[in-house]
Structure 1
Amino acid sequence: MTQGERVKEIRKALGLTLEKFGQKLGVGKTAISKIEKGENSLTEQMTISICREYKVNYDYLTYGDGEMFEDLPETILDELCIEYDLDDDDRDILNFYLGLPADARDAIKKQIKKIFVKE
């Protein structure tokens, strides 16, 4: 399988159109299409961008070795922790909060608003 074919396989696995896949990489759908078809080579810069933006395994994309994706977050909470650079304490607090009944969450929100919102 060529690098271009692997790019297409990755894009399809993510459920993205050529346009959506390229947007995050700063290129148009034509550029992605030409890479997938083998008309244009996959540059090192584009390889790095794909790996970074879509959590793709570099060795898979470059050589066809290993798993397609790096370790993906297992939950939405994991994704939030990665996106906002949250540590284990932050994660535990969020997890605890999310497990509370609605009335308890409302009470916490009221207290937080008292602290941060000047009335």
Structure 2
Amino acid sequence: MQDRIRTLRKTLKISQNEFGKKLGVSNTAISKLENGENSITEQMIKSICREFNVNYLWLTEGEGEMFSDFPETILDELKSEYKLDDLDMRIIRAYLSLDEAERDIFKKYFSQIQTDLEK
């Protein structure tokens, strides 16, 4: 699994620091995972899968494709159910790609717009 974690990170073209930041751990923790110095917890496995859209079986067993299409399926369902156009989808994808701090800024901005519209 340590090799698959390294492969994933390199496929995403991000540093150990960036990878760890998304998961809430240090680059040292990621380095130790990749080098087999620390074992990976089930919680970390699930975090990696959720954060980077990784196929759980690929990460744990090396089976199947690296990335899961599950989130795209959910987005496709939203697009259909709410009749979203391409701009709507770009907005949703852009929001989902933000980190927590950036989402907080966006939510504050959006809340202010909503308050102004209600006046």
What is the count of residue pairs matched by the alignment? 88
Q: Given residue 58 of structure 2, which amino acid in structure 1 is its aligned partner?
A: Y
Q: Deviations over 1:33-87 (max 9, x none)?
A: 00000111111010000000000000000010100000177xxxx7xx84xx954
In 2, the alpha carbon distance for the partners of 1:9 and 1:19 equals 15
Q: Provide the identity percentage.
A: 51
Mark the runs of 5 or more structure 2 residues left unpaired by the alignment.
89-116
| Alignment correspondent of 1:43 | 41
Secondary structure in structure 2 of the residue aligned to 1:30: helix
Written as runs of structure 1 = structure 2, the 5 A alignment for 1:8-87 is 8-71=6-69, 82=75, 86-87=78-79
Q: Distance in 1 between matches of 2:26 and 2:40?
A: 14
**TM-score, normalised via structure 1 length:** 0.64
Residue identity opposite 1:92 in structure 2: D
Offset at residue 94 of structure 1 (A): 3.9
How far residue 91 of structure 1 moved from its aligned partner, in angstroms, is: 1.5
Instruction: Tell me, in whole angstroms, the C-alpha distance in 1 between the residues paired with 2:61 and 2:45.
Output: 11
Unaligned runs of 5+ in 1: 96-115
Cα pair distance change 1:93/1:117, threshold 3 Å: farther
**SS of 1:24's equivalent?**
helix
Greater radius of gyration (CA)? 1
- When residues 30 and 117 of structure 1 are mapped into structure 2, their CA distance, relative to the original with a 3 A threshold, is same
Judged with a 3 Å threshold, the aligned counterparts in structure 2 of structure 1 residues 48 and 93 are, in CA distance, closer, same or farther, namely closer
1:91 matched to which residue of 2? 84
Q: Measured at CA, do residues 86 and 28 of structure 1 come closer, stay the same or move farther in structure 2, by a change above 3 Å?
A: same
